[in-house]
Amino acid sequence: MQTPTPQLPAEALGSALGRDRLAGRKILVVGGGQQSYGIADPPIGNGRAMSRLFAREGAQVAVADVDAAAANETVRQTRAEGSRAFAIVADAGVPADVERMVAEARQGLDGLDGIVANVGIVSGWGLDGTSPEDWDRVFAVNVRAHFLTCKHALPVMPDGSAVVLVSSISSLMKVNEIVAYHSSKAALEGLCLWLAKYAAERRIRVNVVAPGLIDTSLGRLSSGTDPRREARATAAPLGRQGTAWELAYAITFLLSNEASYITGHCLVVDGGFVALR
């Protein structure tokens, strides 16, 4: 599998200095922990990279995850970036947990003006191998959690806030046989459009990011059983996988005032794979 090389820019490697792009912001990252999946020296995951970069850019961060140890490790690394951070243990698939998560984030941050919903699971395989329970489990985490987070957060977020829902290029093309995952990720774009229209009067922006192949622990784990992943990665016009830092920078842009005139948009971060393949 191709991995990041020193020839990549500092931003892609996570070594660029902060520029106060999120100064004063108070951001909840849902799914901010990280699992290594037994990978030795794992690359940084998406939620952890986001949390650290947001802090580096001047934000305070609430890191929510179902895994307390993973959330606390992200908090430790995020605080090392020089900003305030704290952990919230919550299961995005449990409605009561989502409501509590938003309340704890708002209380702990003394306000809330940014949200990134970064949770997602897979279950089932193909039509014959996907049960109703598989379907419901995936949609509970991949769509309902995003809906409930926004349902509880938007009424208490100040004008000018920003929300980013993390989808996947599987919302745009078939990449595997997990039908529930594809369908749930596509549903996020419909949810984004509805929420963006709903919140526009208060200048609250809602956007979606659709990452392609990003070099994470889960990606490396799946490559061990799916040789097609490497072929897909090098088939991207940029000839490599992305890094979690590159996804984090795209989301930082959408949360920042640099994107103050962008809402209801799906930003594809995939090295050109979908558009140029």
Q: Given pLDDT bands bounded at 50, 70 and 90, which one contains residue 2?
A: very low
CA separation for the pair 74, 225 (Å, rounded): 28
Q: Which amino acid is at 272?
A: G
Nearest to 140 by CA among 97, 88, 198, 174: 97
What pLDDT is attached to residue 113? Answer: 98
**DSSP codes joined into one string, 138-171:** HHIIIIIHHHHHHHHHGGGSPTT-EEEEE--GGG
Higher pLDDT, 130 or 57: 57
Average pLDDT, the chain: 91
For residue 186 the two structure tokens come to 């596509």
pLDDT at 229: 58
Tell me the per-residue pLDDT of 184-241, one tens digit each, with 9 for 90 and over: 999 999 999 999 999 999 999 999 999 998 988 766 665 555 555 566 666 789 988 9
- Report whether pLDDT(114) > 80: yes
Is 145 within 8 Å of 93 (Cβ atoms)? yes
**Percent of the chain at pLDDT exceeding 90:** 76
pLDDT of residue 4: 47
Q: Give the mean model confidence (pLDDT) for residues 259-266.
A: 98
Phi, psi of 88, rounded to the nearest 5 degrees: -130, 125
Residue 250 sits at the vertex; the CA angle it makes with 245 and 254, to the nearest 5 degrees, is 140
Residue 221: the pLDDT is: 60
- Report the CATH number of the 23-260 domain: 3.40.50.720
| Per-residue model confidence (pLDDT) at position 41 | 77
pLDDT at residue 20 above 90?
Answer: yes
More confident residue, 174 or 243: 243
**Count of Cβ atoms closer than 10 Å to residue 176 Cβ:** 15
Alpha-carbon distances of 222 from 5, 122, 210, 274, rounded to whole Å: 21, 12, 19, 20
Q: What is the mean pLDDT of residues 100-120?
A: 97
Q: How far apart are CA 199 and CA 61, in angstroms?
A: 22
What's the burial of 245, exposed, middle or buried (CB within 10 Å: 0-12/13-18/19+)? buried
3-state secondary structure of 243: coil
The CA distance from 238 to 269, in Å, is 11
State the pTM of this model. Answer: 0.92
pLDDT, one tens digit per residue, over 30-49 is: 999 987 767 777 889 999 99
Supply 65's token pair: 């995850």
**272 conformational bin, left if phi > 0, alpha if psi -120 to 50, beta if neither:** left
Domain ranges in the chain are: 23-260
Q: Which residues are designated catalytic?
A: 181
d(CA 178, CA 181): 6
Band of residue 1 on the pLDDT scale cut at 50, 70, 90: very low
Q: What is the mean pLDDT of residues 134-139?
A: 93
